[in-house]
């Protein structure tokens, strides 16, 4: 961890360490008599030269959670979302679409499947934003629709939103399926090619 004290920070810097190493060389030249009476100038000069040629300080790159860690956090949020959805009363059609969407998201969040950053982003947006917002907006709008008339039934919008989200999740599932099929075909070609390579020639 980098210190906040500027003096200590310089003492630990590459410039000071490289300059000190070069200064030690100057002291060695002094002890051998090679520097002569100008040894202070030689030591200081070598220290300065070392500080100049030292590579610049590079701040440590930020560390972000990898795909596995992101999925762990997303699964925890999905569990929280499920607890909220279990308390909401939905019309049968919307409830059925939500169940289908829930099952698909659960499958996508299983360990070992999704690792693509874009897929993770879409999943996180669905769990943390789209699904809870769709249901919460329905609950609020339904309350007002009971005291007013003439507007489109809020459950119809909810069904459309859940259908669109299911289609978006299905695209991720299809991409995963395509990737696994390519992986399978590649491995088949590899195994068959290896067998063909080591097959003894016919007499």
Question: Is 0.85 topped by the overall pTM?
Answer: no
Provide the 3-class DSSP secondary structure of residue 72. Answer: helix
Same domain, 46 and 123: no
Rg (CA), the chain: 33
Average pLDDT taken over every residue of the chain = 82
What phi-psi label fits residue 36: left (phi over 0), alpha (psi between -120 and 50 degrees) or beta?
Answer: left
**pLDDT value of position 13:** 66
pLDDT tens sequence across 82-104: 999 999 999 999 999 999 999 99
Domain count, the chain: 2
- On whether residue 62 sits in a domain, the answer given is no
Whether residue 169 sits in one domain with residue 132: yes
Element (H, E) at 39: helix 39-53
182, part of any domain: yes
Q: Is residue 30 part of a domain?
A: yes
How does residue 12 score in pLDDT terms, banded at 50, 70 and 90?
Answer: low
């Amino acid at each position: 961890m980098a210190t906040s004290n500027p003096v200590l920070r310089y003492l630990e810097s590459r410039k000071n360490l490289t300059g000190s190493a070069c200064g030690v060389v100057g002291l060695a030249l002094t002890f051998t008599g090679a520097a002569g009476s100008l040894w202070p100038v030689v030591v200081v000069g070598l220290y300065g030269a070392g500080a100049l040629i030292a590579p610049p300080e590079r701040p440590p790159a930020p560390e972000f959670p990898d795909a596995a860690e992101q999925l762990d956090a997303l699964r925890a949020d999905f569990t929280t979302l499920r607890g909220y959805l279990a308390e909401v009363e939905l019309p049968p059609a919307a409830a059925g679409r939500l169940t289908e969407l829930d099952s698909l998201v659960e499958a996508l969040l299983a360990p070992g499947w999704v690792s693509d950053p874009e897929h993770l982003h879409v999943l996180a947006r669905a769990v943390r934003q789209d699904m809870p917002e769709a249901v919460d907006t329905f609950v609020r709008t339904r309350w007002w629709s009971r005291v007013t008339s003439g507007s489109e039934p809020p459950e119809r919008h909810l069904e459309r939103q859940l259908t669109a989200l299911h289609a978006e999740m299905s695209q991720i599932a299809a991409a995963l399926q395509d990737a696994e099929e390519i992986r399978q075909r590649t491995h088949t070609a590899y195994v068959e090619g290896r067998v063909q390579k080591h097959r003894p020639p016919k007499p």
